[in-house]
């Protein structure tokens, strides 16, 4: 073992720890890995950054723009709305249609985007039909993930695997090469969810009243502004109630007039009665200093915090929301949008305290109060989506047909080998720009740049595995240990290792780490490296055991799931996927 191999393994181990515990964003970790590779000379400088200009990264970037165009022009909304509108009255058919629609959409776009699109629709339908949302949300997320192996463009992981194959002089994965294994996995997975999975999903009922569900009454108190209070004459912003004392003002009663969701420039007057969100014992500590009096404990329902103009709503942060990673205090939602966050549901926990200082995460469900139009505006900007509302009308988007035709045309160009897939996708991107289906500014806002950075950096890591001889070294050790074993056992071991890694880290990163070793192992044993590549591509998308997959994070809190729920339902589904893959992959892509 050389010093370079030791250094690379140390970097890999460190990166895995950071990926698992999420101490830093995955793109920052990936860039740090790339920097370490360059500084320790584990990869030549002329190869370190070449991956960012590779056909793999260009292809993924193009696909992200095309799928963003489908969303912007309403194609996704039209398809989903039509399908679900017809079947919303039959719970059993609804389960099939939700999973089938999500799987069909996910075969050609990000499974996270597919899940995010259907979540508000499903929540609206479950409330209307009085169905427990947990029975539909996990099947929705799992169906979207299952379809990742149907086509090459079903997930960027497949494209990364295809790109690594070309580095070894092997043909890339064609558009529908994965379909013979992907379709059986989808069918078997959906059957499992309908017959077994849905029976073992816990049903945790949510409250009809949002104030009860988020336990707001325990945090609500009425206070009055005394005539001697230093707060008299100050605006809410100047008072420092929220900034210094973490007190959120929900309502002001003044001369029998009720002002809901008061703005930051609202001036306080003597005698004002404020309904605030804060713990009573904490207000007692400061009441004399700020000149306020306490009323009796307040009991209220959802309707007390709403008017014709002011809405109390649950919203979920979307994968590419600009709010992710930022603190509400910095965002100044009340000043800029007239909105205030009353509580945050993160996974199975509800957060009331110090909300302004908590960095928001993808999948957080926020209970917000504010004007209807302001909430709708943010939803249109893809900042978040409102939960529990249902609009099944099918709008007439003028450029929907055009964007769909361009997308299908690009896929057909690649399918019939008229041009390579990256070129076909670039043709599509240029056309959607020229036809104004989406503007470059809109497209660049929609692109998940974190994924681009991660993939580009980790592809460089894969090259370093080859350059330093680490992949070959690990392959030799594996051959020494299991060289005489049945290749099926070796294929199974790589499947299991990839599934294990893909739970805490990104699918693409897991594939990049395992695939070079698997290919070298196959070559040393005179086996077909493509068999191992396909198996790893399937395994990298088998992210059901934990809720850390983005598609699962989106539905985690909404379904009131616990971490072990995914272990219980997802473990059996993982076994189903493995049995199909270990049977079909060696037949379709023979080992020898």
List, for residues 30-54, the tens digit of each pLDDT value. 999 999 999 999 999 888 898 888 8
User: pLDDT value at position 396?
Assistant: 47
Q: Cα(466)–Cα(456) distance, rounded to whole angstroms?
A: 16
Do 142 and 260 reside in the same domain of the chain? no
Do 352 and 217 reside in the same domain of the chain? no
- The distance from CA 441 to its chain's CA centroid, rounded to whole angstroms, is 22
Tally of domains in the chain = 3
Do 335 and 296 reside in the same domain of the chain? no
Q: Domain boundary at 387, 414, 449, which?
A: 387
User: pLDDT value at position 89?
Assistant: 58
Strand partners, 432: none
Does this model's pTM top 0.85?
A: no
Do 32 and 108 reside in the same domain of the chain? yes
User: pLDDT value at position 17?
Assistant: 87
Q: Cα(69)–Cα(446) distance, rounded to whole angstroms?
A: 9
3-class secondary structure for 490-553? HHHHHHHHHHHHHCCCCHHHHHHHHHHHHHHHHHHCCCCHHHHHHHHHHHHCCCCCCCCCHHHH
Do 165 and 30 reside in the same domain of the chain? yes
Q: Domain boundary at 279, 300, 321, which?
A: 300
Is 344 a domain residue?
yes
User: pLDDT value at position 394?
Assistant: 46
Nearest CA to 215 among 51, 90, 343?
343
Do 75 and 175 reside in the same domain of the chain? yes
Q: Cα(567)–Cα(558) distance, rounded to whole angstroms?
A: 18
Nearest CA to 494 among 532, 546, 525, 522?
532
Do 357 and 463 reside in the same domain of the chain? no
User: pLDDT value at position 584?
Assistant: 97
Element of type H or E holding 315: strand 310-317
pLDDT confidence tier of residue 393, bands split at 50, 70 and 90: very low
Is 564 a domain residue?
yes
Is 58 a domain residue?
yes
Question: Which tokens in the block code for residue 316?
Answer: 């979920």
Q: What is the pLDDT of residues 438-460, one digit of tens each?
A: 999 888 877 878 888 988 898 89
Q: Tell me, what CATH number does 357's domain have?
A: 3.30.70.1450
Do 429 and 339 reside in the same domain of the chain? no
Q: Which of 96-105, 145-154, 282-291, 509-518 has the lowest mean pLDDT?
A: 282-291
Domain that holds residue 174: 3-205+403-588
332 neighbors 318 (Cβ within 8 angstroms): no
Q: Which of 252-261, 392-401, 479-488 has the lowest mean pLDDT?
A: 392-401
DSSP 310: E
Do 436 and 526 reside in the same domain of the chain? yes
Do 415 and 440 reside in the same domain of the chain? yes
Is 14 a domain residue?
yes
- Residue 25 to residues 18, 35, 110, 453, Cα–Cα distance (Å): 9, 16, 20, 11
Do 426 and 553 reside in the same domain of the chain? yes
Is 139 a domain residue?
yes
Is 354 a domain residue?
yes
pLDDT at 86 over 70: no
pLDDT at 190 over 60: yes
First-to-last C-alpha distance (Å) of the chain: 30
Q: Name the percent of the chain lying above pLDDT 70.
A: 88
Strand partners, 292: 225
User: pLDDT value at position 392?
Assistant: 45
Q: Domain boundary at 336, 354, 387, which?
A: 387
- What's phi and psi for 253, nearest 5 deg? -110, 120
Is 394 a domain residue?
no
pLDDT at 487 over 70: yes
Q: What is the pLDDT of residues 322-376, one digit of tens each?
A: 788 888 877 777 777 778 788 888 876 778 767 777 888 888 888 888 887 787 7
Do 77 and 177 reside in the same domain of the chain? yes
Is 397 a domain residue?
no
pLDDT at 67 over 50: yes
Question: Residue for token digits 């030791």?
Answer: 6
* 431-465 per-residue burial string, b: 16 or more CB within 10 A, e: under 16: bbeeeebbeeeebeebbbebbbbbbbbbbbbbbbb
């Amino acid at each position: 073992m050389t010093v370079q191999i030791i250094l690379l393994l140390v970097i890999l181990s460190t990166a895995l720890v950071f990926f698992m515990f999420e101490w830093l964003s995955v793109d920052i970790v990936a860039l740090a890995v790339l920097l370490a590779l360059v500084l320790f000379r584990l990869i030549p400088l002329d190869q370190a950054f070449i991956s960012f200009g590779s056909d793999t990264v260009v292809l993924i970037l193009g696909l992200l723009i095309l799928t963003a165009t489908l969303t912007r022009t309403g194609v996704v909304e039209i398809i989903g709305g039509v399908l679900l509108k017809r079947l919303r009255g039959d719970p059993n058919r609804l389960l099939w249609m939700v999973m089938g629609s999500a799987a069909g959409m996910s075969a050609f776009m990000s499974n996270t985007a597919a899940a995010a699109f259907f979540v508000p629709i499903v929540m609206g339908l479950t409330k209307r039909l009085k169905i427990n949302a947990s029975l539909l949300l996990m099947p929705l997320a799992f169906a979207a993930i299952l379809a990742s192996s149907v086509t090459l463009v079903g997930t960027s992981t497949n494209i990364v695997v295809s790109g690594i194959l070309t580095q070894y002089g092997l043909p890339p994965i064609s558009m529908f090469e994965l379909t013979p294994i992907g379709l059986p996995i989808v069918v078997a997975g959906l059957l499992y969810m309908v017959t077994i999975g849905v029976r073992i999903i816990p049903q945790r009922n949510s409250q009809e009243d949002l104030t009860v569900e988020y336990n707001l009454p325990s945090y609500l108190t009425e206070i009055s502004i005394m005539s001697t209070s230093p707060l008299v004459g100050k605006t809410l912003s100047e008072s420092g109630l929220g900034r210094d004392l973490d007190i959120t003002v929900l309502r002001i009663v003044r001369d029998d007039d009720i002002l809901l969701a008061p703005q930051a420039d609202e001036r306080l007057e003597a005698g004002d009665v404020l309904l605030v969100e804060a713990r009573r014992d904490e207000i007692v500590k400061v009441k004399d200093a700020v000149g306020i009096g306490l009323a009796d404990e307040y009991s209220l329902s959802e309707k007390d915090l709403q008017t014709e103009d002011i809405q109390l709503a649950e919203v979920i942060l979307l994968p590419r929301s600009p709010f992710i990673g930022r603190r509400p205090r910095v965002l100044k939602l009340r000043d800029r949008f007239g909105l205030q966050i009353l509580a945050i549901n993160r996974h199975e926990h509800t957060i009331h305290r110090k909300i302004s200082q908590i960095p928001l995460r993808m999948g957080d469900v926020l209970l917000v109060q504010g004007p209807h139009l302001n909430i709708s505006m943010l939803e249109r900007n893809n900042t978040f989506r409102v939960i529990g509302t249902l609009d099944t009308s099918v709008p007439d988007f003028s450029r929907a047909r055009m964007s769909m035709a361009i997308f299908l045309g690009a896929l057909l160009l690649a399918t019939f080998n008229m041009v390579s897939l990256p070129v076909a996708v670039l043709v599509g991107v240029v056309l959607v720009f020229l036809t104004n289906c989406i503007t470059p500014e809109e497209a660049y806002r929609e692109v998940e740049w974190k994924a681009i950075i991660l993939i580009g950096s980790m592809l460089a890591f894969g090259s370093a595995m080859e350059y330093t001889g680490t992949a070959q070294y690990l392959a030799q050790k594996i051959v020494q240990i299991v060289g005489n074993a049945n290749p099926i056992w070796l294929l199974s071991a790589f499947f299991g290792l990839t599934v294990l890694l893909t739970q805490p880290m990104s699918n693409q990163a897991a594939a990049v780490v395992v695939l070079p070793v698997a290919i070298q192992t196959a070559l040393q044993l005179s086996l077909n490296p493509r068999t191992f590549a396909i198996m790893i591509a399937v395994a990298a998308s088998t992210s059901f055991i934990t809720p850390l997959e983005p598609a699962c994070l989106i539905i985690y809190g909404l379904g009131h799931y616990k971490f072990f729920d995914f272990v219980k339902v997802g473990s059996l589904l993982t076994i189903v996927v493995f049995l199909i893959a270990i049977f079909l992959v060696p037949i379709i892509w023979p080992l020898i």
